[in-house]
Amino acid sequence: MVQRIQKIIGQAGICSRRKAEKLILENRVFINQRVAKIGEKADIKMDKIRIDNYIIPNKLTSKVVLLNKPPGIISSCNDNLGRKTVLDLIPTDIREGMYPVGRLDMYSRGALLITNNGLLTYQLTHPKYEHKKTYRVLISGIISNKSIELWQNGVMIDGKKTNKANVIIKKQYKNRSLLEIVISEGRNRQIRKISEKLGLRVIDLIRIKIANIELGDLHEGSWRELNSNEWQNLLK
């Protein structure tokens, strides 16, 4: 099937389409030994598409890994400051072409999917598909019913109101509250920013579920490869 070159790169799980466009503008992408241009089309089954020295396979076997990300690890393929990334936690023999689906900020932990399937990445990160993500969040203080209601109905952050959420108090301590939060969008540091807006402080944040994929008893820093039945259900 003939597709725009940046779409082919994105679907291969190498990087986002925006990053792919940057690679093309830097003359690092080739179609059959010639430099590719923005907007140019190709057929992955017929054409040889190369980024630097890496040739995109014309028959890609989809791999999806569930990682329990520890705090202090960067949700990226590489880091300019040399910090450890999530790809460093999976074996080198399955790492090529893999890309984290969405992000958990450096200090958050829990379920993170890593894949080479661009369509899966797109559908899990695009808000129109409304894939739910579940978090356990420990905050300072006792959260009020008014704050829960505000959170559930949407809060203005970065000039835009958040989608409706489900917020449940799981446990209350003397000066802390443990919440379970279900959201269907993944804006940058969303839970932390909402907490700050409501005068709360996040002590610990762990993602325990992405759509139907549960973290379960997977140890922190460990990973497992999902079978096709598990991740195929995520495609809508």
> What is the set of active-site residues?
105
Interatomic CA distance for residues 47 and 165, integer angstroms:
45
Closest CA to 235 of 120, 107, 105, 108: 120
- DSSP reduced 3-state for 113: strand
Question: By the 8 A CB rule, do 174 and 140 touch?
Answer: no
Q: Distance of CA 210 to CAs 35, 126, 179, 183, 217, Å?
A: 39, 14, 17, 10, 15
Question: By the 8 A CB rule, do 46 and 62 touch?
Answer: no
Pairing of strands 109-115, 202-210: parallel
The pair of structure tokens assigned to 35 is 């430099």
- DSSP reduced 3-state for 22: helix
- DSSP reduced 3-state for 91: coil
